[in-house]
Amino acid sequence: MQHLRIVDYLSSKLHIESDSISTLFDTCILKEIKKNDFLLSENDYCKHTFFVEKGLLRQYSIDDNGKEHTISFAPENWFVTDRESVYFDSPSRYYIQALEDSEVVLIDENFIQLLSEKIPSFTTFNDRLLHNHIRHLQNRINLLLSASAERRYLEFIEMYPDILLRVPLTMVASYLGITPESLSRVRKDLARKNFKK
């Protein structure tokens, strides 16, 4: 298998040599996925966590009225999955779609166990990753419930600095829980404020 970004990512986070973990990934599947194709669809059973080697993914749901709600974006070096489906063996409520031609490492629970056995520090890192994910979800819920559209947009830019250049603004608006028209107003207001400085 070719050299993987995930090896460099984990070796830097775990402070170990990449050679010491690269062979562990020989059993992992590297999947190429074309733009607009799906890794997961609603009612599928999600069996993997996906690490983005190259490209960009989006996780979203569709409500009863046919409206899309973007849950997250996953650019290079990000993980994405449906935890409920993976860990509770339930049909997914989500879609995970490639927004660009992408390459994704498929990681299953057995491989997580293997990493934990071979690299004890991985368990601590994985726990921290999970808690960080929960922290961001809680912050997102709070923003959706109580923050202005402008504040949500600024937080989005901080979380995803280059995504605006890679996705349609309708998807950004969907993530922020506002209409595309409201997003256009927010962007114009911010541009006006920055111009006056």
Q: Is residue 137 part of a domain?
A: no
Structural domain containing residue 163: 147-197
Note whether 125 and 155 are same-domain residues: no
CA-nearest of 38, 98, 95 to 69 is 95
β-strand partners of 103: 32, 54
Q: Is residue 162 part of a domain?
A: yes
Note whether 29 and 107 are same-domain residues: yes
Q: Is residue 75 part of a domain?
A: yes
- End residue of a domain, out of 78, 102, 131: 131
The tens digit of pLDDT for each residue in 32-84 reads: 999 999 999 999 999 999 999 999 999 999 999 999 999 999 999 999 999 99
The tokens for 132 are: 């960080």
Q: What percent of the chain has pLDDT over 70?
A: 97
Note whether 196 and 114 are same-domain residues: no
Q: Is residue 136 part of a domain?
A: no
pLDDT > 60? residue 1: no
Number of structural domains found in the chain: 2
Note whether 103 and 161 are same-domain residues: no
Quote the pTM value: 0.92
The tens digit of pLDDT for each residue in 115-127 reads: 999 998 999 999 9
Main-chain phi, psi angles of 6, to 5 degrees: -60, -30
Identify the H or E element spanning 57: strand 57-62
Note whether 176 and 107 are same-domain residues: no
Q: Is residue 69 part of a domain?
A: yes
